[in-house]
């Protein structure tokens, strides 16, 4: 197998005004989608700094990075359960389990939601990008919940446009550490790629973009809060970053912790301290999706039941607190 390619280019007048992803794709023979992923991941830099795929390059700028030696292989079908909330001729809505990667990526070439989709619905293989057929939006690996998948090219385009223009209403449930200072609020801190840790996002990034998260308390426990959150933008890790900025990180999130969550003295009991810090994944669930049908225009709303790990943690918190049972989502 040939090695990855280290690439470098100093832009000239012929590159002036080009989108960065367009320049990378044309210069080094990769798809624009692949170029955009490399740029978003910080693999391609402009004058030593990360930029957005839509960044317009100028003259005499240094474009450097590394291009993978192989393009992602087209995923294949794999038999595995697929928990459906809805299906018609144009789309599916899936209740994605925690721990399941949405589409193949380096380190996760198989065992993804896409592999399951191709087993149950082979025709999806021709819809959208070859390495992520049918996919119009994503959930993090350890975030569970409602995810819509396109079954036709027309539905894929329409849904993609709806997500891009923020016509899809997305509501999440998150269990966070501690009690909130009020019953609801809005966070408008901008979010961008962390300047040092490229797999993380930050509210103090120099490339931060506007982000808005509205939240309200759904259930208050002594040492935790169940929040209902609606995101009006779709930034990477938005809820996790905004909750951390509020000093109320999502329980079980290994990427965005707060130091106090590991200190016993900040909790009312050892039982709740040990329970919350034993969470096997971030307690974040994409609870509700609302949008107009991409073909018929009919209003649609889907609610995804919680998975057992979150339900069990809520039950145990109720038992520890001695309060009434939390409202079931």
pLDDT tens across 202-220, in order? Answer: 998 877 899 999 999 999 9
pLDDT digit string (tens) for 129-141? Answer: 888 999 999 999 9
Q: Is residue 328's pLDDT more than 50?
A: no
Read off the DSSP letter of residue 290: E
> What was the pLDDT predicted at 205?
82
pLDDT digit string (tens) for 30-55? Answer: 777 888 989 998 999 999 999 999 99
Read off the DSSP letter of residue 83: -
The residues annotated with a catalytic role in the active site are: 140
pTM reported for the whole predicted model: 0.78
Kindly report the length of the chain: 329
The structural domains of the chain, ordered by start, are 5-67 (3.10.290.10), 84-164 (3.30.2350.10), 169-321 (3.30.2350.10)
């Amino acid at each position: 197998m040939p090695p990855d390619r280290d690439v470098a280019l100093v832009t000239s007048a012929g590159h002036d005004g080009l989108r960065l992803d367009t320049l990378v794709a044309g210069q080094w023979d990769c798809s624009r989608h692949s170029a955009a992923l490399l740029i978003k991941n910080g693999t391609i830099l402009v004058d030593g700094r990360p930029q957005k795929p839509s960044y317009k390059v100028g003259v005499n700028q240094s474009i450097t990075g590394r291009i993978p030696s192989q393009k992602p292989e087209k995923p294949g079908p794999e038999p595995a359960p697929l928990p459906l909330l809805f299906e018609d001729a144009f789309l599916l809505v899936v209740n994605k389990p925690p721990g399941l990667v949405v589409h193949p990526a380096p380190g996760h070439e198989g065992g993804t939601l896409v592999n399951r989709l191709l087993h149950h619905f082979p025709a999806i293989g021709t819809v959208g990008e070859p390495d992520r057929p049918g996919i119009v939006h994503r959930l993090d690996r350890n975030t569970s919940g409602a995810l819509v998948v396109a079954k036709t090219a027309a539905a894929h385009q329409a849904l993609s446009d709806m997500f891009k223009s923020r016509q899809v209403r997305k509501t999440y449930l998150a269990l966070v550490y501690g009690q909130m200072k009020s019953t609801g609020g809005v966070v408008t801190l901008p979010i961008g790629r962390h300047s040092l840790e490229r797999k993380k996002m930050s509210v103090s990034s120099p490339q931060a973009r506007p982000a808005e998260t509205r939240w309200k308390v759904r259930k208050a426990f002594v040492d935790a809060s169940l929040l209902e959150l609606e995101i009006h933008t779709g930034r990477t890790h938005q809820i996790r970053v905004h909750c951390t900025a509020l000093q109320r990180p999502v329980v079980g999130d290994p990427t965005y912790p707060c130091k106090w969550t590991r200190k016993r003295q900040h909790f009312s009991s050892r039982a709740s301290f040990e329970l919350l810090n034993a969470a096997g994944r971030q307690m974040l669930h994409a609870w509700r999706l609302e949008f107009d049908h991409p073909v018929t225009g009919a209003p649609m709303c889907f609610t995804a039941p919680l998975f057992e790990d979150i339900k069990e943690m809520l039950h145990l918190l109720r038992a520890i607190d001695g309060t009434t049972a939390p409202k079931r989502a």
